[in-house]
Amino acid sequence: MKLLNILTAAVLTVSIASAEDVMKKSMSLMEQGMTQIQQGFLNNNVELIRSGSKLVKEGNSLFSHKDVIVQYLPKDKKHMVNVAAKAAKRIDLDVTVLELNLDDKAYINAANAYSDILNACARCHSIVRSW
């Protein structure tokens, strides 16, 4: 029985640590991507925007499943898993819109999609982190 308790505790610890690593990697990739996108717009560099959007998409995919999100949220915020999941869906859609607008050389619309990605991030962070 004691061994079972120790194994259970070890599995939970690894699970929580894994969720933390996923969250950190996800947020880091998205931060890098958003920075690249912004630099791309400021310097008229479409390739930088494209590489940034790939990073955002990759980071968002890591942290867009409810089972991963709920492991990261504090106990008093676990009920807000849907807020984070909806933000992830919104970000995914906006990255697609950004890329399609780049293809069409509709740079104002692409910039608007970038702005909406930023708003989705800020909304989720403000609600989940109680800013």
The residue among 126, 125, 131, 96 whose CA lies nearest residue 23 is 125
Q: What is the pLDDT of residue 73?
A: 83
- The owner of tokens 């998409």 is 57
102: tokens are 């780049």
The string of pLDDT tens digits covering residues 74-103 is 888 888 899 999 999 999 999 999 999 999
**How high is the pLDDT of residue 94?**
98
Tokens 């791309």 belong to 40
Residues in the chain: 131
What are the extents of the domains in the chain? 2-128
CA 96 – CA 122 distance, rounded (Å): 19
- CATH topology (fold) of 2-128: Four Helix Bundle (Hemerythrin (Met), subunit A) (1.20.120)
Give every residue of the chain whose pLDDT is below 50, as ranges.
4, 7-19
Q: Which structure tokens are listed for 48? A: 């930088």
Helix (H) / strand (E) element for 61: namely: helix 46-62
In whole angstroms, what is the distance from residue 126 CA to residue 111 CA? Answer: 22
